């Protein structure tokens, strides 16, 4: 979706290193969703952020939503091979529709 810009498009990280993915919207978001997809599989829900300044963590993954609710970041600490995949952000304007970014492909090198 052109409404959401994800960066980078892809990245390669050495196992054990940290990585950050960004998702930027030109409009204020009602909600921001992070999903992970592996090739040939469906999207796995990771986290949802709604409040400006909100931060959530699950295991080694942390997601933040900025105060203006127009940018979110996903940070992975000490990456592992299991973190490899495509990460997509999805934006809600307050109704049922989710607009998705193009995705960031993460490769973790052993």
Partner 1 sequence: DAGVIQSPRHEVTEMGQEVTLRCKPISGHNSLFWYRQTMMRGLELLIYFNNNVPIDDSGMPEDRFSAKMPNASFSTLKIQPSEPRDSAVYFCASSFMSHGEQYFGPGTRLTVT
Measured distance CA(78)–CA(93) in Å, rounded: 33
**Of positions 103, 104, 106, 108, contacts partner 1 by CB under 8 A:** 103
Tell me the closest approach of the beta carbon of residue 5 to partner 1, in angstroms.
12
Does position 105 interact with partner 1 (CB under 8 A)? The reply is: no
Residue 42 is classified by DSSP as -
The contact mask relative to partner 1 for 31-70 (x = CB under 8 A, - = no) is x-x-x----xxxxxx--x----------------------
Phi, psi torsion values for 82, nearest 5 degrees:
-70, -15
Size of residue set near partner 1 by CB under 8 A: 23
Does position 87 interact with partner 1 (CB under 8 A)? The reply is: no
Q: For residues 61-99, b (16+ Cβ closer than 10 Å) or e, as one string?
A: bbbbbbeebbbbbbbbeebeeebbbbbbbbbbeeeeebb
Does position 9 interact with partner 1 (CB under 8 A)? The reply is: no
């Amino acid at each position: 979706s052109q409404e959401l810009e994800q960066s980078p498009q892809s990245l390669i990280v050495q196992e054990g290193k940290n990585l950050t993915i960004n998702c930027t919207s030109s409009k204020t978001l009602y909600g921001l969703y992070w999903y992970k997809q592996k090739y040939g599989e469906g999207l796995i829900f990771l986290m949802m952020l709604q409040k400006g300044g909100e931060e959530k963590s699950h295991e080694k993954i942390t997601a933040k939503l900025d105060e203006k609710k127009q940018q979110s970041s996903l940070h992975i600490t000490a990456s592992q091979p299991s973190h490899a995949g495509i990460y997509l952000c999805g934006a809600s304007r307050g109704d049922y529709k989710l607009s998705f970014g193009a995705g960031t492909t993460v490769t973790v090198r052993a």
